[in-house]
């Protein structure tokens, strides 16, 4: 008598990578065959750009910014704006997508100004800032002042990772990692060994070409990781370090003890939505904030007043580091 | 909750993306001591420096210019800041400019054979000095200028090897020091062009004055004018000097009465480092133009004047990509050709940073990174390279060159 085994075909790793949103993306997925086409990914990413990218003059977000009253949204814009409202509320306004005029004034936008803004200019711009000046009814995003402009760069990449993840799931893929611009979503495990996926947290001050470029390595099999930091985009004006994370309340860049925050959440849009605001809270408040939230974890790199760099993590995040 | 501290010091932010354009604007806000500057030599280089100084209006105020040729002074009026022409003194004799008490500092951008005398005169006149590279025409002058500068310790003498000041080249020096390239064994440098390297001459009697680069009496040719930058960078980045130099060259394309070679190659052996530097330039091919590649067993750095890319070797790449993913702020990305940009945006012209540092050295009374000692070392290299090229002999570094 012959015993027959029905052997499952082995899963293999497939990699896709390319350019989008002014950065790179990487997808690793495990399947028996290469079933994802690069053109499909690129077309999804182009679609998101056409909606959310400040770098595309024709994008929906730019049309909104140019409009006097608002515009009808698409699915992408609506989803991200709705989530932005939620996080605005949760963070007491520290995350605010209407910060765009300030970001641009400080030289971190698409257009580079000729000079740095003075206090009068900041006060004037602050009048156009505040998520309260936005409202979303049905599919229409309305602004109460024509000068209100939004910048979704703080949340769009995390959301993009979600969109890619959902696409992979829709193709029946269970084990994958989808990353764009350092924001990523993980599902399942490496195959065939079934190890958790490993993700390096970039070490500030280390160069990516250093032998050990990671501050820590995280192991996980579900959820999203995003990082916000002030260690790459900054310049110095006198004694002050001006970074790209602008406080919507004051109009100036956040000056806290945090160098970077890495957030774990169930999905990319949530993680990415919170990371900038946590940077703005400073270590103590950010730690308390995350500990209060279910389904949120965070890892912090910060400096003490004597200039020494330390790191720490919330309870839930710490389990990922083991 | 577990905390773990890291013994990393405050240099933590050096990995930052330098936003040069914004940074420049930021500088402009700071109150500065504005230095009254005289420019001696208003050829292409002198005018080029003045053009760049327009970006540093709070640091330098051009109060005097000097050139032996009238038409040069006339041309220079066009590059002076708008409205300043009336107030800028014009001299034909550099002694008169140096006598001008209003002039605090001078830029010297004259033919190489005049560098030594003008630098000496300027130091003796009490001026702060930015002297174009190569520092001196030959080795004896280099040694002599060190002695003279020693008599004026309160004055700055900065040599115009501006790559020492650009954030890009500075970063590369750091990468070398940290060992990212591994052991560097080969360095390839070229500075090629496909034109005769001549300037238009309005009157034939001015040929030797204007096209001084063509004549041995005035110029060290391609090695002095171009390759000296890369030679200086290697000296600086590896804190070394060559021990043996071989060279060859000829007038191989422009047989137009020139004396300096239009095609040169020098091989510098750095005995202590176990490293070979290939320095070449031709005036008859522009395909690759500027090349500067440093090749180590872990990776290669390939540099343009204002951009650079790191290419890890296969094993290094594997080590860098040990994880499934990376999360980070404003992640630095790999190029399509497998390289990683060293900075995320091109730098400004090196002269900009060099002039910022010249200002800083004067105000803070510091010795500049490109100073008389380092300038002398590079001048020796250039002299030896030219000896090797012109005489087909092997040149050795001598202990007396260790200034």
CA distance to partner chain A, nearest, from residue B153 (Å): 29
Residue of A nearest to B14 (CA): A205
Burial (CB count within 10 angstroms: exposed 0-12, middle 13-18, buried 19+), residue A120: exposed
Query: Tokens 């422009």 label which residue?
Result: B254
Residue A229 shares a structural domain with residue A257? yes
Dist. CA A53–CA A23, nearest whole Å: 12
Contact (Cβ atoms closer than 8 angstroms) between residue B159 and residue B370? yes
Which residue from B3, B15, B25 is facing A205, i.e. has the nearest CB? B15
Average pLDDT of the segment spanning A294-301 = 94
Which of B12, B28, B308, B325 should we substitute to test contact with A (largest number of A Cβ atoms within 10 Å)?
Answer: B325
> What is the residue-averaged pLDDT of chain B?
90
Query: Tokens 């490293």 label which residue?
Result: B275
Residue A265 shares a structural domain with residue A172? no
Q: Identify the pLDDT of residue B332.
A: 58
Which of A208, A234, A312 should we substitute to test contact with B (largest number of B Cβ atoms within 10 Å)?
Answer: A208
Residue A108 shares a structural domain with residue A95? yes
CA distance to partner chain B, nearest, from residue A87 (Å): 20
Domain that holds residue A34: 10-54+154-195
CA distance to partner chain A, nearest, from residue B66 (Å): 33
State how far the alpha carbon of B301 is from the alpha carbons of A212, B175, B293, in Å.
Answer: 19, 9, 6
Residue A31 shares a structural domain with residue A169? yes
Dist. CA B324–CA B145, nearest whole Å: 58
Which DSSP letter does residue A122 get? H
CA distance to partner chain A, nearest, from residue B80 (Å): 21
Question: Model confidence at A4, in pLDDT bands (50, 70, 90)?
Answer: low
Long-range CB pairs of B250-257 (<8 Å, 24+ gap) are B252/B282, B252/B284, B253/B282, B253/B283, B253/B284, B254/B196, B254/B197, B254/B283, B254/B284, B256/B196, B256/B198, B257/B214
Last residue of a domain, one of A118, A151, A184: A151
Delimiting residues of CATH 3.30.360.10 domain(s) in chain B: 166-343+373-401
* Residue with the larger pLDDT of the pair B320 and B98: B98
Dist. CA B231–CA B227, nearest whole Å: 6
Q: Identify the pLDDT of residue A72.
A: 97
Contact (Cβ atoms closer than 8 angstroms) between residue B231 and residue B385? yes
Across the interface, do B5 and A318 touch by the CB < 8 Å criterion?
Answer: no
Most confident residue range from A3-7, A310-314, B21-25:
A310-314
Is there a domain that residue A233 lies in? yes
Q: Identify the pLDDT of residue B3.
A: 29
Q: Identify the pLDDT of residue B75.
A: 95
Query: Which residues of chain B are within 8 Å of residue A210 when distances are taken between CB atoms?
Result: 178, 180
Residue A147 shares a structural domain with residue A284? no
Residue A49 shares a structural domain with residue A161? yes
Across the interface, do A209 and B180 touch by the CB < 8 Å criterion?
Answer: yes
* Residue B289: both structure tokens together: 């133009």
State how far the alpha carbon of B123 is from the alpha carbons of A190, A200, B150, B331, B362, in Å.
Answer: 69, 55, 10, 48, 13
CA distance to partner chain A, nearest, from residue B49 (Å): 22
Dist. CA A105–CA B80, nearest whole Å: 30
* Residue B278: both structure tokens together: 């290939």
Class of CATH domain B166-343+373-401 = alpha beta
Residue of B nearest to A245 (CA): B329
SS3 label, residue B260: coil
Q: A91: domain CATH number?
A: 1.10.3980.10
Dist. CA B27–CA B30, nearest whole Å: 6
Cα torsion through A57, A63, A66, A70, rounded to 10? -170
Q: In 3D, which of B357, B27, B359 has the Cα closest to residue A237?
A: B27
B323–A contact, CB cutoff 8 A: yes
Digit-coded pLDDT (tens) for A136-153: 999 999 999 999 999 999
Is there a domain that residue A201 lies in? no
Question: At residue B16, what are phi and psi to the nearest 5 degrees?
Answer: -70, 155
Is there a domain that residue A210 lies in? no
| E strand segments, B111-243 | 128-131, 157-159, 184-191
* Residue A105: both structure tokens together: 């004034």
Q: A176: domain CATH number?
A: 3.10.520.10
Delimiting residues of CATH 3.40.50.720 domain(s) in chain B: 16-163
Dist. CA B62–CA B48, nearest whole Å: 13
Last residue of a domain, one of A151, A185, A205: A151
Contact (Cβ atoms closer than 8 angstroms) between residue A101 and residue A129? yes
Q: In 3D, which of B307, B290, B118 has the Cα closest to residue B192?
A: B290
Across the interface, do A310 and B319 touch by the CB < 8 Å criterion?
Answer: no
Digit-coded pLDDT (tens) for A30-44: 999 999 999 999 999
Contact (Cβ atoms closer than 8 angstroms) between residue A15 and residue A39? no
Residue A162 shares a structural domain with residue A45? yes
Residue A229 shares a structural domain with residue A144? no
Residue A24 shares a structural domain with residue A139? no
Q: Please provide the DSSP assignment of B177-214 as one string.
A: HTTTT-SEEEEEEEE--SS------SSGGGHHHHTGGG
Question: Model confidence at A213, in pLDDT bands (50, 70, 90)?
Answer: low
- Of the listed ranges A188-192, B120-124, B240-244, the one predicted with least confidence: A188-192
> What is the residue-averaged pLDDT of chain A?
91
* Residue B11: both structure tokens together: 């240099």
Contact (Cβ atoms closer than 8 angstroms) between residue A245 and residue A278? no
Query: Which residues of chain A are within 8 Å of residue B322 when distances are taken between CB atoms?
Result: 198, 200
Dist. CA A163–CA A28, nearest whole Å: 15
Residue A177 shares a structural domain with residue A65? no
Interface contacts A/B by beta carbons within 8 Å? 192
Is there a domain that residue A116 lies in? yes
Long-range CB pairs of B121-127 (<8 Å, 24+ gap) are B121/B94, B121/B95, B122/B40, B122/B98, B123/B148, B123/B149, B123/B151, B123/B152, B123/B155, B123/B157, B124/B148, B124/B152, B125/B98, B125/B99, B126/B152, B126/B155, B127/B38, B127/B98, B127/B103, B127/B155
Contact (Cβ atoms closer than 8 angstroms) between residue B190 and residue B277? no
Dist. CA B158–CA B119, nearest whole Å: 10
Which residue from B13, B28, B324 is facing A199, i.e. has the nearest CB? B324
B309–A contact, CB cutoff 8 A: no
Return the number of other C-beta atoms located less than 10 Å from residue B311's C-beta.
20
Q: Identify the pLDDT of residue A204.
A: 77
* Residue with the larger pLDDT of the pair A230 and A214: A230
* Residue A98: both structure tokens together: 């209407």
Question: Model confidence at A21, in pLDDT bands (50, 70, 90)?
Answer: confident
Question: Model confidence at A6, in pLDDT bands (50, 70, 90)?
Answer: low
CA distance to partner chain A, nearest, from residue B31 (Å): 9
Question: Model confidence at A20, in pLDDT bands (50, 70, 90)?
Answer: confident
Dist. CA B203–CA A182, nearest whole Å: 62
- Establish whether the linkage from the previous residue to A192 is cis, with ω within 30° of 0: yes
Is there a domain that residue A120 lies in? yes
Class of CATH domain B16-163 = alpha beta
Across the interface, do B340 and A208 touch by the CB < 8 Å criterion?
Answer: yes
Question: At residue A76, what are phi and psi to the nearest 5 degrees?
Answer: -60, -50
Residue of B nearest to A305 (CA): B10
Res A104 pLDDT > 60: yes
Which residue from A186, A210, A227 is facing B328, i.e. has the nearest CB? A227
Is there a domain that residue A243 lies in? yes
Across the interface, do A226 and B331 touch by the CB < 8 Å criterion?
Answer: no
Digit-coded pLDDT (tens) for B327-385: 877 655 667 677 888 887 788 999 999 999 999 999 999 999 999 999 999 999 999 99
Contact (Cβ atoms closer than 8 angstroms) between residue A248 and residue A130? yes
Across the interface, do A303 and B10 touch by the CB < 8 Å criterion?
Answer: yes
Across the interface, do A232 and B16 touch by the CB < 8 Å criterion?
Answer: yes
Dist. CA A27–CA A163, nearest whole Å: 12
Structural domain count of chain A: 3
Cα torsion through A200, A206, A209, A212, rounded to 10? -50
SS3 label, residue B97: helix
Query: Which residues of chain B are within 8 Å of residue A305 when distances are taken between CB atoms?
Result: none
Digit-coded pLDDT (tens) for A46-88: 999 999 999 899 999 999 999 999 999 999 999 999 999 999 9
Residue A118 shares a structural domain with residue A38? no
Question: Model confidence at B15, in pLDDT bands (50, 70, 90)?
Answer: very low
What DSSP element (H or E) covers B334? Answer: none
Q: Which distant-in-sequence residues (6+ apart) come within 8 Å of B3 by Cβ?
A: A310, A311, A312
Res A207 pLDDT > 80: no
Pairing status of strand B35-40 against strand B60-66: parallel
Burial (CB count within 10 angstroms: exposed 0-12, middle 13-18, buried 19+), residue B38: buried
* Residue with the larger pLDDT of the pair A171 and A116: A171
Dist. CA B7–CA B346, nearest whole Å: 32
Return the number of other C-beta atoms located less than 10 Å from residue A288's C-beta.
11
State how far the alpha carbon of A277 is from the alpha carbons of A268, A270, A272, B35, in Å.
Answer: 15, 12, 10, 44
Residue A322 shares a structural domain with residue A233? yes
Res B122 pLDDT > 60: yes
Dist. CA A56–CA A52, nearest whole Å: 9
């Amino acid at each position: 008598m012959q015993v027959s085994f029905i052997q499952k075909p082995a899963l293999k790793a497939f990699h896709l990578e390319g350019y989008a949103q002014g950065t790179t993306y990487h997808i690793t997925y495990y399947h028996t065959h290469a079933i994802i086409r690069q053109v499909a990914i690129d077309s999804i990413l182009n679609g998101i750009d056409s909606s959310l990218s400040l770098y595309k003059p024709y994008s929906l977000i730019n049309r909104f910014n140019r409009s006097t009253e608002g515009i009808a949204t698409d699915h992408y814009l609506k989803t991200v704006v709705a989530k932005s409202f939620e996080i605005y509320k949760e963070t007491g306004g520290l995350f605010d997508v209407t910060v765009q005029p300030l970001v641009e004034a400080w030289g971190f936008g698409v257009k580079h100004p000729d000079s740095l803004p003075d206090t009068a200019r900041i006060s004037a711009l602050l009048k156009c800032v505040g998520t309260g000046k936005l409202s979303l009814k049905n599919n229409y995003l309305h602004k109460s002042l024509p000068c209100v402009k939004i910048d979704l760069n703080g949340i769009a990449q995390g959301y993009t990772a979600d969109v890619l993840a959902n696409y992979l799931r829709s193709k029946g893929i269970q084990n994958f990692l989808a990353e764009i611009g350092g924001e990523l979503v993980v599902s399942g495990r490496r195959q065939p060994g079934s190890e958790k996926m490993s993700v390096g947290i970039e070490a500030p001050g280390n160069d990516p070409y250093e032998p050990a470029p990671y501050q820590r390595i995280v192991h996980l099999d579900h959820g999203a990781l995003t990082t916000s930091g002030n260690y790459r985009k900054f310049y110095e004006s006198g004694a002050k370090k001006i970074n790209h994370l602008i406080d919507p309340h004051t109009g100036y860049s956040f000056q806290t003890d945090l160098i970077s925050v890495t957030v774990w959440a169930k999905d990319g849009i949530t993680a990415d939505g919170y990371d900038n605001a946590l940077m703005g809270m400073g270590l103590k408040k950010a730690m308390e904030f995350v500990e209060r939230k279910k389904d949120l974890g965070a890892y912090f790199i910060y400096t003490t007043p004597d200039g020494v760099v330390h790191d720490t993590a919330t309870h839930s995040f710490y389990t990922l580091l083991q | 909750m577990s905390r773990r501290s890291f013994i990393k010091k405050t240099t933590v932010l050096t990995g930052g993306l330098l936003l040069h354009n914004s940074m420049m604007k930021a500088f402009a806000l700071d109150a500065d001591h504005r230095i009254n500057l005289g420019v001696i030599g208003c050829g292409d280089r002198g005018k080029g420096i003045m053009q760049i100084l327009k970006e540093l209006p709070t640091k330098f105020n051009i109060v005097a210019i000097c050139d032996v040729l009238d038409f040069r002074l006339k041309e220079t009026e066009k590059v002076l800041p708008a409205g300043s022409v009336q107030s800028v003194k014009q001299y034909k004799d550099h002694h008169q400019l140096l006598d001008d008490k209003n002039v605090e500092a001078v830029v010297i951008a004259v033919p190489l054979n005049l560098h030594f005398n003008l630098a000496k005169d300027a130091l003796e006149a009490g001026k702060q000095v930015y002297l174009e590279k190569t520092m001196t025409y030959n080795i004896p002058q280099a040694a002599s200028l060190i002695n003279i500068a020693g008599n004026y310790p309160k004055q700055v003498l900065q040599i115009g090897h501006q790559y020492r000041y650009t954030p890009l080249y500075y970063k590369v020096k750091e990468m070398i020091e940290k060992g990212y390239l591994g052991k560097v064994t080969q360095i390839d440098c070229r500075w090629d062009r496909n034109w005769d390297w001549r300037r238009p001459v309005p009157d034939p009697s001015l040929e030797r004055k204007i096209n001084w680069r063509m004549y041995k009496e005035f110029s060290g040719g391609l090695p002095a004018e171009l390759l000296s930058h890369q030679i200086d960078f290697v000296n600086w980045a590896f804190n070394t000097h060559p021990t043996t130099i071989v060279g060859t060259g000829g007038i191989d394309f422009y047989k137009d009465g020139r004396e300096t070679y239009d095609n040169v190659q020098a091989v510098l052996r750095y005995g202590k480092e176990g490293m070979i530097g290939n320095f070449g330039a031709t005036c008859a091919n522009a395909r690759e133009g500027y090349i500067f590649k440093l090749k180590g067993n872990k990776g290669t750095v390939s540099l343009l004047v204002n951009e650079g890319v790191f290419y890890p070797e296969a094993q290094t790449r594997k080590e860098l990509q040990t994880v499934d993913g990376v999360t980070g702020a404003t992640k630095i990305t790999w190029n399509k050709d497998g390289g990683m940009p060293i900075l995320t945006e091109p730098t400004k012209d090196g002269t900009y940073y060099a002039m910022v540092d010249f200002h800083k050295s004067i105000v803070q009374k510091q010795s500049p990174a490109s100073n008389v000692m380092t300038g002398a070392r590079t001048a020796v290299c250039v002299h030896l390279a030219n000896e090797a090229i012109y005489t087909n002999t092997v040149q050795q570094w001598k202990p007396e060159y260790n200034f």
